[in-house]
Amino acid sequence: MRRGRVFAQDHVVNVNSLEDVMKISRIALSALLFGATAVFSSCGDPSPLGPRPPAAAQAAAPVVAPQADLLGGVSNLLKHVGLLSCSALPPATGSKTIGSEGGTINVGPHSFVVPRGALSHPVTITATIEPEHVNHIQFKPEGLQFKKSASLTMSYANCNILNSLLPKHIAHVDEDLNILSLLLSVDNLLARKVTGQVDHFSDYAIAW
C-alpha cells in the first residue's frame, strides 16, 4: 500500500498502512462522539452565560395597594346609574310579624323573604309602596339588622320597555330617591323581576 499523509485539525499524520487508517478513523469518530455529548450536556445544565429564568419564576410579583382613583370607581359608577322609569303602581301596604323561623311579606307585585335564623326575636315588619314614577318600597322598622341576608324581589313589569333590556339592580335610596348604593342583585329578564340581598332596612328602588 502507498504511503500518504492525512491532514486533520492542522496536523499532518503519516499513513503507512491500512491499520493506520483504521486507527485514525476510530480516533476521529471518538472525538466526534465526545464533542456531541458535551454539546447536549451543556444544553441541559444552566450556565451563567445562558438565558436567565423569568423573574416571575424567581419570586412572586409584589402586591400593589389599590390607588385612590380605583377606590373612587364605585362613586363614579353611581353617577351613571339611574332609577328605572315606571308607570305608577296603586298604593299598597304589607305587614307581618316575623321571628326566628323566618317568613314572607308581599306588597303589590313585590315580595320580601326573611330566612330562618335571620331574626332572633319576633319583629313586626311593614312594607309600603306609593304611586310614583319609579318602583320604590319603604320598610319599617327603619335600620332593622338581619343576622342572615334577606331577599327583596321587585317587579319591573310596569316599567319602560327599552330600559328593561338593560341589567337591573336594587338600589338603596334616601327619602329624595337619590341612589346611595347598589345591592348585590340578580336580574330575571324573562320574569321581569330583580332580586337583591338585604342586610338592613332602608328604602329601596329599581335602578339600571
What's the pLDDT score for residue 81?
74
67 to 75, 130, 182: CA distances (angstroms): 14, 42, 22
Kindly state the DSSP code that residue 86 receives in the 8-state scheme: B
Residue 171 phi, psi (nearest 5): -105, 140
Topology of domain 78-207, CATH: Chondroitinase Ac; Chain A, domain 3 (2.60.220)
CA distance linking residue 85 with residue 132, whole number of Å = 9
Compute the distance between CA of residue 91 and CA of residue 89 in angstroms, rounded to an integer.
6
- Whole-number mean pLDDT of the chain? 75
Q: Where are the domains of the chain?
A: 4-44, 78-207
Which residue spans within the chain are E strands per DSSP?
A: 4-8, 11-15, 92-98, 103-107, 110-114, 123-129, 136-140, 145-155, 169-173, 179-182, 185-188, 193-200, 203-207
Find residue 43's DSSP bridge partners.
none
Confidence of residue 161 (pLDDT cuts 50, 70, 90): confident
Q: Give 85-133 pLDDT, tens digit per residue.
A: 999 999 999 999 999 999 999 999 999 999 999 999 999 999 999 999 9
Considering the entire predicted model, what is its pTM? 0.62
- CA–CA distance, 176 with 189 (Å, rounded to integer): 28
Cα-trace Rg, the chain: 40
| C-alpha closest to that of 134 among 199, 75, 206, 204 | 206
